[in-house]
Structure 1
Amino acid sequence: MEIITGGITAAKGFQAAATAAGIKYQNRMDMAMIVSQVPAASAGTFTTNVVQAAPVKWDRKLVTEESHARAVVVNAGIANACTGAEGMEYCQKTAEAVEHTLKIPANQVLVASTGVIGMQLPMEKLTLGIEAMAPQLEDSLESGHQAACAIMTTDTKAKEAAVTFQVEGKTVTVGGMCKGSGMIHPNMCTMLGFLTTDLAISKELLQEALREDIIDTYNMVSVDGDTSTNDTVLLLANGMAGNPEIIQKDENYRKFTEALHYVNTALAKMMAGDGEGATALFETRVIHADSKEHARTLAKSVICSSLTKAAIFGHDANWGRILCALGYSGVKFDPEAIELFFQSKSGRIQIYKDGTATDYSEEEATRILSEPEVTVLVDMKMGDAKAVAWGCDLTYDYVKINADYRS
């Protein structure tokens, strides 16, 4: 596997475009479109929130009932959530606008929205946006990057990743982009993620690969404990790499899942590090747990702790908060057996062992915690299972951003 530059247009046969439709934001791009030159197998995973946006309902139906998809239309600014029958009608009208403009059947058009809940979409602006993007569709890296920029809300940076690998002598690419900064919590996070590959693979295996991979990638991210109404990850595979179709879980399938996992992990970490108001990516690694499920639970409990997140912001080695978060996770363990460490590119320091603090240097701990990426390592001393979760620090700016989000 080779890491390459690019995102949603890195794979063969995929084009993208972006435009400023004026849906909510002024003087910035707020619509994106992704198009496959040929029909592509589709897979999707969606929010577990009982309250689900119209695009989630639309996409789940199409991914489940249709064999292929060719286009995805995304808007930022308005979520099209809690919008009733009118919101569903706008999904249909968006797909029909693509059909009219690009001659792609409406039942092969997926849609996604992100932004304020409860507002109706300005359908005329969406239609004009689709018409504006159609002649701009390109397979260049720049067009992919512009699309990644257009789907942002409170994000501060575009999020893209891509890799290549070999299947039966053919070079296969997996690329993707996502957005997510606030209202992010496991199962899934408040995020939109779009992945493309030129791999030839059955729809069934494509869906299984995506469903299994989000467990240890997007579902291990939390910024603020709120699970969105709009969470969506879509994966399209158009087969243009020319490899023999993967129809069983063989070595080629393993290569694909490895590539998919890399891209999803990279995007997940980008979201966590770009949490609203964040100054640091906060990672928790749990090792030697007694089960994978317990390792995940423990890691997520730490990165979800508001007190621990505040300590990370203050570069404060307050290990008691970490131990507390582990203790209320619901997992049974011996507090006097575990060990805790802080680490970053500035070094590694053990802070807890044998049921009490070690004789560590507060100055050294502060230096380690002052980096933009900080890791808490938790050694449970119970077994062989491990897991990683990602979050961010909790800052003054998080409150400022969310106090006037609708303004």
Structure 2
Amino acid sequence: MDSMLVPDSDAALASHLLALFRRLSADGDGVTRPAYGAAETACLQALAAIAGEQGLESWWDAAGNLWMQPPGLGDAPAPACGSHMDSVPQGGNFDGAAGVVAGFLCVRQAMREGRALRAVALRGEESPWFGAPHVGLRAAFGALSAAELAIPRRDSGQTLAWHIAEQGADPAAAGCGAPAPEIARTSFFWELHIEQGPVLVDRALPAAPVSAVRGHLRFPAARCLGEAGHSGAVPRHLRRDPVLAVAELLHELDTLWARSLQDGADLVLTAGQLLVDPASAAPTRIPDAVRFSLDLRSTQQETLAGLSSLLPRRCAEIGARRGVTFDLGAPVTAAPVVLDAGGRAALEAALPGVQPVASGAGHDAAEFLRRGVPAAMVFVRNEHGSHNPAEAMALEDFLASLAALQSAIRGQG
């Protein structure tokens, strides 16, 4: 690669890298970078080449993640900064990739200032590919189970272990139970990520520290069973209507949500699926069953615990009154993660007057914390949500977040 073709300023280099990643993974209006796939690897290889042009050392860990550092750092303990390179199918270009670019720019600045810092571009954070998140980072921790390594990727049908090996990494190390040396040398993890909701847009802020990553209580396969009937022939007191029962439950949860926010609790609630069997559904038929999902998230474990206790009781009460039966199915849970207080304070100092925001989505920073490595995050304003081609991160907002991140890292030593 001709170094004269690579721009030098943070702004120009960030634009260059993001455009390069888009070009290497373009898919219609969006991008597709499958976990442990060719497009993800092509982006990582391009970044490694540019890192070399900039004077950085780069190498791959046993899990296939790309690491970069200033010459002379060697195996010394140091903080790390980065994010993930993969995307969801036909996603946006900035989810993950913006943080990869930020990590690269932070370690380049650290090299110029003589500070110890590594950058890491992680694989496989997104869950759609193998039905599980953070597979690249968890592979670096040696924490993937045999069952997870045997999961087929949604597009190829080949297992995670096969794809890890295909990309030149070691599936045995991914499940060995011990962290890679790069992880063992990481004293702190910093992550820049686009906000995947509209809070910063609503507040007209380019960036904000992240306070915590919400835990969740999910019921992905809930059902409500009633009795089919003629829409005009069954009076209200004799109906066993599962649609109205689920509607009542959702109305109660929405009311609880509003009341919880008034009381100062953190809560978001989504019913992402509400389905009747299309083979039997008709405008003149009372359905006999409804399938639905619930996704409840909070930064407060006590809020999730209260909902876990409340939901079965309210389902039983509504069911008894309406003559239906609720079956919520097996719950899927994850505890909230509060980000490192010192790191957050450093970011708050770099962004004075900006109120921290909670993350409703999982991130590699939270996975580091769950496994004993302190971590902090900064969000960048992003319009039109995430996991879609319309993601819109302004370069000026990225640079504001990058400056805050660089200041916080420098302040933490």
Would the TM-score normalized by the shorter structure come out above 0.5? Answer: no
The structure with the largest helix share of the pair is: 2
Q: Which has the higher contact order (CA 8 A, sep 6+)?
A: 2
Using structure 1 for the length normalisation, give the TM-score: 0.30
